[in-house]
Amino acid sequence: MLTNYQTGVYFDEMMKQDGEPKRHYQWFYQLVNQFTERDLMKKHETAQLNFLRQGITFTVYNHTGGTERTMPFDFVPIIIPRQDWEEIEKGMKQRMTALNHFLEDIYHDQEIVEAGIIPRELIENNPYYYNKQVSGIDIPLRNHIFLAGVDLIRDENGQYRVLEDNLRNPSGMSYVFQNRYVMRQVYPELFFQHSIETLEHQLSELHQAVTSHLPANADPHKSATAVLLTPGIYNSAYYDHVFLAQQMGIELVEGRDLIVKNDVVYMKTIKGLKRVDIIYRRIDDDFLDPEAFRPDSALGVSGLLRAYRKGNVSILNGIGNGVADDKAMYVYVPDMIRFYLEEEPIIPNVETYFLSDPERLDYVLDNIHELVVKNVGASGGYDMLIGPQSEESEREEFKKKIIENPHQYIAQPTIKLSRAPAYQEGRFYPCHVDLRVFVMNGEKTNVLPGGLSRVALKEGSLVVNSSQGGGGKDTWILTESGDHHA
Amino acid sequence: MVITMLSRVADSLYWMSRNIERAENNARVLSVQLIHMLEAQNQEAADRDWEEIVEVCASAKDYYSLYDRLDRETMIQYLTISPFNVNSLMNCMNFARENARSTRDILPEELWEVLNAFHLDQKDWQELPNTRQHTQDYLDRVIKTSMTSQGVIESSMSRGTPYTFIKVGKWLERAEKTARILNVTCEKNRKEADVPTDHYYYWLTALQFLNGYDAYIKEHPPTMESKHVLSFLIKEGTFPRSIRYCMDHVMEAVNKLEGGKISHYSEDLFQMLELIQDEITSTNIEEMDMNELMSFLDHFQDRCMTLSRMFSQTYYLIEPVHVK
């Protein structure tokens, strides 16, 4: 099947340069070789249809309105050996601990600024720093990051690196479960010879993490009422919200279902108002409460912030996390780990240059064809230049934008993102991949085994975002016995 | 039994159910009419009754605000896939799906899949040429989708609050549609009382519209007495589309929601339901003339509207919500 497959200069997850599979892919390779071409085509179609029929879609908006699309699914899993995974797991826990310290610190004493490690203006000028709204309050468990989605990539040496920390509303966890579900339905044969980490208990872990964030003034004699707050069916990640609410057995609410009276949050039910203790919100900070943030928000709930400040309700993820996960603050995360934990980062960053530094700026302008330039405020692959793949005119346009507004941009060397085989339209070909790892924090920290492997299905493309043609893959963590086996 | 539920969710379930039921009923009416057309001996016969069809499935007034005259193809378009008719089959099915989508977390997965499958195929329908066969297939698909949805609901939903709201929506919608069809049929009869027309045909059609012909024939071997048909469709306790049957089931559902108890907030609702039940049982259909029947049916349709409003108020399906 993979006879003409070329790994090229890239690190390949599955294949070695000599055309043989890596050790931990051997079983998979053999099993796939037993499928006929017809089997593969048929299974591929069945899998795609499965997503459409179940309405596991996200909405893409353009000038003509919204279209519901499924995320293309690719059946070649990303298999991670036990040892590698343990390293990632440790690295994620370390990173989350440091980032949480950082958030707690900058909304209280600002020791890291006092120590001269992070420039004050970088924090204070950050549009997501909501000092006025949330500084000085003690939140349950002192935990700001209930759920993080950390995007990891591997460079040409196979070294994992953190590309992005998503500490606001990371989405995509439902796909991890659906990918596994569809995989088991359509490719059951592949599971016979593999022993992999199950996802079964993960949603109850998530539920526990939610309910452990009891607000200070919750009624100790009643079990806490938790809800998931969604912007509604037109949100691009609506399926994610439905899935998580349903699986955790908590109510899926919209802003209009909630009301704040005397600084207590209630939901409107058929039998009157019912008190809400914990809100896992999937609405961004600035839309959360028109009284405290954007007054034009129709999605939020008036008075929510007051209830939060008084300890009458918990809001997850915490308000004001955006200051810690933007592309500028990213550069300082290794320093945060050293400052708060006195440890060296286990999983390194990607080297990043600030363009506000004049020397760096000159270097970047001269070498823009070799670099990736990103807008610090943008996400989802938007307002970004991939030097080696860009046209002269695009580079000129970006140079202009950078010179006009150097603080708004960062640059990184173009990393030779690792690749893995993908099977689409009847053939296998190499595609760039990344991995979003989900970290849940409550009374303890739990890293979901595996995560969402995203794949840039357009050949040669480096953009894995689902809104721009990216797809998903199942991710397998081999269990201890599985490792011997494979 | 789940005691409480978000008002918005209850509202969505109620309207999902009403829209599925409405689509099925309208599809059946249109389907019966199209078959009658085929059997018609001449063009005149084929063109008759269309205004009544529009009145049953939508509103003739709304139709005339968009179009000057009753053109058959325009009407079929208007009733099936027109975006300008809120009660077109396409719109009803879209509303049903949107409502299901916003309550997916509490609905059986298969119910969503049935409604979603219809939606996914609908895009293809819109591109097909507007032939009689395609229209019949589309109507058939609407009816089957509704029946499958009901099958999923009955076979897999717990008999809790969400289920009960779905049922109330269905029974209310059904009762209203039956009243509407009878009203239009009575009107037609009255208008043509002096003309020697085929009254048999009208009552037969009414039974077919309500999928009740077979059931009626078993009770009343082949006669088509207007009094019998009316009595059957209004008062027959065993036929699941008679007004009485539907209202008895609304009562049963509300009783279940309240655990058999009448509280201060549900008192008005119960009183109204009892009043309606009384009005149905105490009415002697056989002794009424067409005018009296029509005013009875008009009155009942008003009652349905009042009931629907009271139901919404009792369960806060509309603002405001107060602390209890």
Structure pTM? 0.88
**Cβ contacts of A253 on chain B, cutoff 8 Å:** 6
**Cβ contacts of A257 on chain B, cutoff 8 Å:** 6-8
Cross-chain Cβ contact A270/B10 below 8 Å: yes
Report the range of poorest mean pLDDT among A437-446, A456-465, B141-150, B295-304.
A456-465
Distance from CA of A143 to the nearest CA of B (A): 28
Cross-chain Cβ contact A270/B7 below 8 Å: yes
Average pLDDT rounded to a whole number, residues A193-215: 94
CA distance A244 to A131: 30
CA distance A163 to A152: 6
Tokens of A378: 């943008």
pLDDT at res. A129: 95
Cross-chain Cβ contact A259/B3 below 8 Å: no
ipTM associated with this complex: 0.83
**Cβ contacts of B6 on chain A, cutoff 8 Å:** 251, 253, 257, 267-270
Distance from CA of A149 to the nearest CA of B (A): 23
pLDDT at res. B127: 78
Beta strand A160-166 with A147-154: parallel, antiparallel or unpaired? Answer: antiparallel
CA distance A298 to A286: 11
Q: What ranges in A187-233 are assigned the alpha helix state H?
A: 189-192, 202-211
**Cβ contacts of A251 on chain B, cutoff 8 Å:** 6
**Cβ contacts of A246 on chain B, cutoff 8 Å:** 104-106
Residues of A with CB under 8 A from a CB of B: 52-55, 232-233, 238, 242, 245-246, 251-254, 256-257, 259, 261, 266-274
**Cβ contacts of B104 on chain A, cutoff 8 Å:** 55, 242, 246
Asked if residue A123 lies in contact with residue A185, where contact means CB atoms within 8 angstroms, the answer is: no
Nearest by CB to A272, from B105, B112, B324: name it: B324
Question: Which of A171, A87, A221, A116 lies closest to A379, judged by CA?
Answer: A171
**Cβ contacts of A272 on chain B, cutoff 8 Å:** 316, 321-324
Which residues of chain B from 110 to 149 reach within 8 Å of chain A, CB to CB?
Answer: 112-113, 116-117, 120
Asked if residue A447 lies in contact with residue A150, where contact means CB atoms within 8 angstroms, the answer is: no
Q: What does the pLDDT profile of chain B (324 residues) look like in tens digits?
A: 446 799 999 999 999 999 999 999 999 999 999 988 887 777 776 677 888 899 999 998 999 999 988 888 899 999 999 999 999 999 999 999 999 999 998 999 999 999 999 998 887 777 778 788 899 999 999 999 999 999 999 999 999 999 999 999 999 999 999 999 999 999 888 887 766 556 788 899 999 999 999 999 988 877 788 889 999 999 999 999 999 999 999 999 999 999 888 888 899 999 999 999 999 999 999 899 889 999 999 999 999 999 999 999 999 886 544 443
CA distance A1 to A33: 6
Nearest CA in chain B to A231: B102
Average pLDDT rounded to a whole number, residues A180-188: 92
Average pLDDT rounded to a whole number, residues A70-78: 90
**Cβ contacts of B317 on chain A, cutoff 8 Å:** 270
Q: Using CB atoms within 10 A of its CB, is residue B41 exposed (0-12), middle (13-18) or buried (19+)?
A: exposed
Distance from CA of A114 to the nearest CA of B (A): 48
CA distance A92 to A345: 10
Distance from CA of A184 to the nearest CA of B (A): 18
Helix axes B161-191, B132-156, angle to 10 degrees: 140
pLDDT at res. B294: 93
Cross-chain Cβ contact B105/A270 below 8 Å: no
Instruction: Find tokens 């603050």 and name the residue.
Output: A329
Distances (CA, A) of B129 to A193, A316, A405, B47, B120: 52, 52, 55, 22, 18
| Residue type for position A223 | S
Tokens of B106: 């509490």
CA distance A436 to A167: 12
Neighbours of A63 (CB within 10 A): 4
**Cβ contacts of A252 on chain B, cutoff 8 Å:** 105
Phi, psi of A79 (to 5 degrees): -105, 130
| Residue type for position A212 | S
Helix H, strand E, coil C: the string for B203-226 is HHHHHHHCCCHHHHHHHCCCCCCH
**To 10 degrees, the CA torsion angle through B236, B238, B240, B245?**
60
Nearest by CB to B102, from A233, A269, A273: name it: A233
pLDDT at res. A62: 64
Best residue in A235, A264, A269 to probe B by mutation, most B CBs within 10 Å? Answer: A269
Band of pLDDT at residue A377, cut at 50, 70 and 90: confident
CA distance A167 to A312: 23
Nearest CA in chain B to A244: B105
Nearest by CB to B5, from A245, A261, A269: name it: A269
Q: Percentage of chain A surpassing pLDDT 70?
A: 95
Beta strand A278-281 with A226-230: parallel, antiparallel or unpaired? Answer: parallel
Q: What is the CA radius of gyration of chain B?
A: 20
CA distance A420 to A415: 15
Distance from CA of B118 to the nearest CA of A (A): 10
| Residue type for position B102 | S
CA distance B163 to B180: 26
CA distance B154 to B148: 10
Cross-chain Cβ contact A233/B101 below 8 Å: yes
Nearest CA in chain B to A274: B323
Which residues of chain B from 142 to 181 reach within 8 Å of chain A, CB to CB?
Answer: 161
Best residue in B1, B105, B111 to probe A by mutation, most A CBs within 10 Å? Answer: B105
Asked if residue B54 lies in contact with residue B79, where contact means CB atoms within 8 angstroms, the answer is: yes
Residues found in chain A: 486
Q: Is the pLDDT at A319 greater than 90, yes or no?
A: yes
Q: Can you spell out the DSSP letters for A284-303?
A: -HHHH-TTTS-TT-SSS-TT
Helix or strand or coil: residue B112? helix
Asked if residue A371 lies in contact with residue A418, where contact means CB atoms within 8 angstroms, the answer is: no
Average pLDDT rounded to a whole number, residues A176-182: 93
- Find residue A60's DSSP bridge partners: A67
Asked if residue A94 lies in contact with residue A447, where contact means CB atoms within 8 angstroms, the answer is: no
Instruction: Find tokens 């309550």 and name the residue.
Output: B103
Nearest CA in chain A to B108: A246
Distance from CA of B84 to the nearest CA of A (A): 19
CA distance B89 to B94: 8
Tokens of B168: 């109330």
* Type and span of the H or E element at A436: strand A427-441
- Find residue A33's DSSP bridge partners: none
**Strand runs (DSSP E) across chain B, as ranges?**
none
Q: Is the pLDDT at A34 greater than 70, yes or no?
A: yes
pLDDT at res. A20: 93
Helix H, strand E, coil C: the string for A162-188 is EEEEECCCCCCHHHHHHHHHHHHHHCC
DSSP state, residue A20: P
Average pLDDT rounded to a whole number, residues A206-231: 95
pLDDT at res. A485: 47
Nearest by CB to B102, from A232, A261, A271: name it: A232
- Tens-digit pLDDT profile for residues A331-353: 999 999 999 999 999 999 999 98
- Tens-digit pLDDT profile for residues A145-173: 999 999 999 999 999 999 999 999 999 99
Count of alpha carbons within 13 Å of B309, Cβ hemisphere only? 6
Cross-chain Cβ contact B6/A256 below 8 Å: no
**Cβ contacts of B161 on chain A, cutoff 8 Å:** 270
**Cβ contacts of B105 on chain A, cutoff 8 Å:** 242, 245-246, 252
Tokens of B40: 């018609």
Cross-chain Cβ contact B323/A266 below 8 Å: yes
pLDDT at res. A307: 97
pLDDT at res. A380: 65
Q: Is the pLDDT at A326 greater than 60, yes or no?
A: yes
Question: Which of A129, A275, A283, A132 lies closest to A215, judged by CA?
Answer: A275
Cross-chain Cβ contact A268/B8 below 8 Å: yes
Q: Can you spell out the DSSP letters for B32-96?
A: HHHHHHHH-SSHHHHHTTHHHHHHHHS-HHHHHHH-SS--HHHHHHHHHT-TT-TTSHHHHHHHH
Question: Which of B235, B231, B242, B230 lies closest to B185, judged by CA?
Answer: B230
Average pLDDT rounded to a whole number, residues A86-107: 98
Asked if residue A336 lies in contact with residue A102, where contact means CB atoms within 8 angstroms, the answer is: yes
Instruction: Find tokens 């173009």 and name the residue.
Output: A414
Neighbours of A425 (CB within 10 A): 9
Best residue in A242, A270, A299 to probe B by mutation, most B CBs within 10 Å? Answer: A270
| Residue type for position A340 | Y
Cross-chain Cβ contact B5/A55 below 8 Å: no
**Cβ contacts of B8 on chain A, cutoff 8 Å:** 254, 256-257, 268
Tokens of A254: 């919209």
Nearest CA in chain A to B102: A233
pLDDT at res. A486: 43
Cross-chain Cβ contact B106/A55 below 8 Å: no
